[in-house]
Amino acid sequence: MSEEQRLRQLLSAPRPSADLERRILEGLPPARSWRHWWGIAASVALMLAVFWPTLGDPLAPFIAHAHAEQGLEGRLAESPRMAGVVLVKHCRVAGRPYLHLRWSTPAGPLDAFYAPELPALPPRGEHGGRAWTVAGLPEGAVLAIHPPGIDPLPWIRKINLKEDT
């Protein structure tokens, strides 16, 4: 037997305890099963279902300002911060007036109802345009939407300047 063989024979001789394998396996942290991930997915789905009325309605935190001229949709689309929204109908819920609004999304038309206690456009003449109160808008009017806290006047001025030219 060569030195190499003797060395290999010696080195291969030690044997671990019979229960080492069991102890190793017991010491491993548990595997996360598909059930675990399905549980997380179900929780997320439940949260989405609960909060969807808020999350799914991008107009909720917005203030609607009205511009009654038809055909402005193309110009409104120029600004990513604004969306062309059509006033579908005036309606009443429990005696209270609401606006039925609809706008286009990649997933299809989206409807929402808003109370018309919204700021009106500035008075006629201040920016050279016509003033409308939201409650008095005709059905089919195109609305422009502004995020809250952002002064809508610059945009209105821009539209009116275009109209003036």
Partner 1 sequence: MLGERRRFEQWVRRYHGDLYRHAYWLMGDPTLAEELVQETFYRAWRGRRGLRRRDEPFPWLLGILRHACFAELGRRGRQAAPLPEEPVEDASPELVDLQRALARLDPGQRDILLLHALHGMSYAEISEQLEIPLGTVMSRLSRARAALRRLWDAPDDTVIPFPGRRRR
3-state secondary structure of 61: coil
95 makes contact with partner 1 (CB under 8 A) = no
**Does 20 sit near partner 1 (CB under 8 A)?**
yes
Binds partner 1 (CB under 8 A): choice among 2, 29, 49, 123: 29
Which residue's CB is nearer to partner 1, number 3 or number 78? 3
CB atoms within 10 A of CB 91: 11
Q: Are 83 and 105 in contact (CB under 8 A)?
A: no
Spell out where 81-153 has E strands: 85-93, 96-105, 108-114, 142-146
Compare residues 25 and 94 and give the one whose CB is closer to partner 1: 25
CA angle 146/141/122 to nearest 5° reads: 50
* Nearer to partner 1 (CB atom), residue 4 or residue 151: 4
Interface residue with partner 1 among 2, 11, 117, 123 (CB under 8 A) is: 11
Q: Which stretch binds partner 1 (CB under 8 A): 17-25, 57-65, 72-80, 145-153?
A: 17-25
Asked if 6 is part of the footprint of partner 1 (rule: CB under 8 A), the reply reads yes
16 touches partner 1 (CB under 8 A): yes
- What one-letter code names the amino acid at 107? A
Q: How far is the CB of 41 from partner 1 (least distance, A)?
A: 14
CB 144 within 8 A of CB 84: yes
* Helices (runs of H) and strands (runs of E) counted in the chain: 5, 5
- Judged by the rule CB under 8 A, the positions of this chain that interact with partner 1 are 3-4, 6-17, 20-21, 23-25, 27-29, 31-34, 36-37
